[in-house]
Chains A and B, each alone.
Chain A
Amino acid sequence: MLLNQFLLLGAVLFCIGVYGVLARKNGVLVLMSIELILNSVNINLVAFGMMGGDAAAITGQVFALFVITVAAAEVGVGLAIVLLIYRNRTTVDLDEVDLMKG
């Protein structure tokens, strides 16, 4: 069925995103990986919406729009924070940010 293919695509994107967050040291790439996860959710939402009736479909699509908006806001703040770190340490390597531990 068509739905399963969309869901599979979503799941694959999700996993790539999670892998990116776990494996990448570069702050900007981590941000991009998070975007990838959010987009996988959007694919899921639209796909699920397609399955249900009209009202349900609208919910899914509207939700996807909300997610895109929120993701934009989030990335704005995220880049600002990465920039702040970069300005002080001239690096965006997340592994070098480890003052506090234990």
Chain B
Amino acid sequence: MTAALLFAQVEKVATPKLDWAATAPLLILCGAALLLLLISSLTTSRPARGTYAVITVLASAFAIGTAGVLWARVTDAERGAFTTAAGALTVDGFSVFFIVVISLGIALSALLADDYLRRENLDGPELYVLMLLSGAGGIVMAMANDLIVVFLGLETLSIALYVMAGFNRRRAESRESAMKYFVLGAFSSAFLLYGIAFIYGATGSTNLGDIAGFLNANTLEHTGLLLGGFALLLVGFGFKASAVPFHVWTPDVYQGAPTPVTAFMASASKAAAFAALLRVFVSTFAEYRLDWQPLIWGIAVLTLVVGSVLAIVQTDVKRMMAYSSISHAGFILVGVQAATAQGVSAALFYVLSYTFMIVGTFGVATLVSGKGDEHHGLEAYRGLSRRRPGLALTFTVFLLAQAGVPLTSGFLAKFYVIGAAVDAHSYALALIAMLSSVVSAFLYLRIVVAMYMTDEEGAEPGPRVRVPLGAGVALGLAVAFTVVVGILPQQVVHWADRAIPVVLASGR
């Protein structure tokens, strides 16, 4: 009888159906990571220069390609969005959008890492493996339709990042940044986890679709547990997105981490955080928007102000850019705060434009820093226009884009988020966002001026700057995107408009 019962139960356990095509981008990235490990352990001789980077870039390109196929499928009116893996992952325009953004982050950072690793005598497949796995974690976060999966994605993203931050272990700053990032990251994800437990307790489920369904159908007598969960979830997402006051780690970790890793953190990791924030708060907790909107409002204001004000007093360009990335997070939060379709699509447009801008910015910082990754002061940029006019011009484009000067994607990104805020009647927030962009314009200008000032008499010329092929390609792509989308944004806006997250119950 016991045997029969066991047998019957075994029969009842159904393995979830996995849609292979839908998870292809994930599988490609993880597969490439394994492939890299395999190659390095099976071959005895060193592979040709750049092999690892090329494999990483190809894998990202394939992931983007399969994402393109998926896009056609989910935007098809008849088929639409769907869930897979027993309702754990959602495949909708939103997921696909972030697959593309994060894969781009991986590819561009890998191109920057190629020469960097050789320069610092760290060459090997490890950083690429970590980058691919971390990116896969980010994609899981963006696709997650279950809070457990959100947590798993977040941890995959983070644990790999802790190691990456300390990758240049000969540099004290790199070790320190790994330490700080790890302690604070683990601390904040513990908060996130506690929040998830609260939400599970309040709604009886961790599935986003079921939670949304439950919240729509029932009016909670006591909302304390649920709202407490909101608060703790915000801590976790706010930490990854480096929103004030959860941003404290950002300057130190961005400054200390190897510069290509910083580029990856600022692009892919931040994008994943916003993906989760948008899907969980704007879509799933839409019913309770009046409760969380004011808090996001406050966080957005703090983030905008602290980011731009603290950036101004920095002298280390990498640290300055870390603070400026905080203020960018504030702008994206302005779009999140609107909590409308327009706000979400503005935030998506911002995330994509920002990815190229920030990778480009840290890419230039990688090149200028020179061997040892140490020339990050403003003085290293003095007279760059004489030594490397092309690089100086490229950097100028990124800085102007970050300042929000028209004809760059940065202007439109700011324009759309502020427009969304105005449309949602958040006039005060729109005003503050504009003011903060005025303040931060000054900071970008400082660097531009430094680059175009000629060397003063007697001052020693800055370090020699080399532009290797990989980094050149990455910077070229980033500039091209920033300028072309600045002039012809239609297609990208169209994509962002169709990438609004959908919340589906686990049943479907």
Which positions 3-49 of chain A face chain B at CB distance < 8 Å?
7, 10, 14, 17, 21, 27, 30-31, 34, 37-38, 40-41, 44-45, 47-49
Which positions 403-419 of chain B face chain A at CB distance < 8 Å?
none
- Inter-subunit contact B193/A102 (CB<8 Å): no
Q: Give the shortest distance, in Å, between B190 (CB) and chain A (any CB).
A: 4
Cα of A102 to Cα of B316 in the assembled complex, Å:
11
> Which residues of B sit under 8 angstroms from A74, Cβ to Cβ?
155, 159, 186
Output the nearest chain B residue to A70 by Cβ-Cβ distance. B155
Cα of A49 to Cα of B166 in the assembled complex, Å:
38
Partner pick for B251 among A56, A62, A100, CB 8 A cutoff: A100
- Inter-subunit contact B194/A52 (CB<8 Å): no
> Which residues of A sit under 8 angstroms from B205, Cβ to Cβ?
56, 59
Q: Give the shortest distance, in Å, between B381 (CB) and chain A (any CB).
A: 19
Cα of A94 to Cα of B148 in the assembled complex, Å:
31
Q: How would you classify the secondary structure of chain A's contact residues: helix, strand, loop or mixed? A: helix
Q: Give the shortest distance, in Å, between A52 (CB) and chain B (any CB).
A: 5
Cα of A47 to Cα of B252 in the assembled complex, Å:
39
Cα of A102 to Cα of B248 in the assembled complex, Å:
10
- Inter-subunit contact A73/B155 (CB<8 Å): yes
With an 8 A cutoff between CB atoms, is B151 at the interface? yes
Partner pick for B194 among A40, A94, A99, A102, CB 8 A cutoff: A40
- Inter-subunit contact A21/B197 (CB<8 Å): no
With an 8 A cutoff between CB atoms, is B200 at the interface? yes
- Inter-subunit contact B194/A41 (CB<8 Å): yes
- Inter-subunit contact A100/B176 (CB<8 Å): yes
- Inter-subunit contact A77/B155 (CB<8 Å): no
> Which residues of A sit under 8 angstroms from B204, Cβ to Cβ?
48, 51-53, 56
- Inter-subunit contact B190/A63 (CB<8 Å): no
With an 8 A cutoff between CB atoms, is B201 at the interface? yes
Output the nearest chain A residue to B206 by Cβ-Cβ distance. A59
> Which residues of A sit under 8 angstroms from B178, Cβ to Cβ?
81, 84
> Which residues of B sit under 8 angstroms from A82, Cβ to Cβ?
179
- Inter-subunit contact B194/A37 (CB<8 Å): yes
- Inter-subunit contact A99/B193 (CB<8 Å): no
Output the nearest chain B residue to A48 by Cβ-Cβ distance. B201
The proximity string for B residues 302-339 relative to A, scoring 1 for CB distances below 8 Å and 0 otherwise, is: 00000000000110000100000000000000000000
- Inter-subunit contact A77/B182 (CB<8 Å): yes
Q: How would you classify the secondary structure of chain B's contact residues: helix, strand, loop or mixed? A: helix
- Inter-subunit contact A51/B201 (CB<8 Å): yes
Number of interface residues of A (CB under 8 A): 46
- Inter-subunit contact B159/A45 (CB<8 Å): no
Cα of A34 to Cα of B152 in the assembled complex, Å:
17
- Inter-subunit contact A97/B180 (CB<8 Å): yes
Quick check: which of B68-76, B167-175, B283-291, B341-349 contacts chain A, the rest being far away?
B167-175
- Inter-subunit contact A84/B183 (CB<8 Å): no
> Which residues of A sit under 8 angstroms from B176, Cβ to Cβ?
85, 97-100
> Which residues of A sit under 8 angstroms from B427, Cβ to Cβ?
none
Which positions 252-276 of chain B face chain A at CB distance < 8 Å?
252, 255-256
- Inter-subunit contact B190/A94 (CB<8 Å): no
- Inter-subunit contact A41/B183 (CB<8 Å): no
With an 8 A cutoff between CB atoms, is B66 at the interface? no
The proximity string for A residues 57-73 relative to B, scoring 1 for CB distances below 8 Å and 0 otherwise, is: 00110110011001001
Cα of A99 to Cα of B179 in the assembled complex, Å:
12
> Which residues of B sit under 8 angstroms from A62, Cβ to Cβ?
148
With an 8 A cutoff between CB atoms, is A90 at the interface? no
> Which residues of B sit under 8 angstroms from A30, Cβ to Cβ?
183
Cα of A98 to Cα of B175 in the assembled complex, Å:
11
- Inter-subunit contact A88/B255 (CB<8 Å): no
- Known interface pairs A63-B200, A73-B155, A77-B162; A84-B148 also in contact (CB < 8 Å): no
* Top 5 A-B residue pairs of the complex, sorted by shortest distance between their CB atoms: A48-B201, A37-B190, A44-B197, A100-B252, A52-B204
* Additional A-B contact list (19), CB under 8 Å, known A27-B179, A44-B201, A99-B256: A34-B183, A34-B186, A37-B187, A37-B190, A37-B194, A41-B194, A48-B204, A56-B205, A66-B148, A70-B151, A70-B155, A78-B183, A78-B186, A81-B178, A84-B169, A85-B179, A101-B252, A102-B313, A102-B314
Q: Can you identify 5 A-B contacts, CB atoms within 8 angstroms?
A: A27-B183, A56-B204, A59-B200, A85-B175, A102-B314
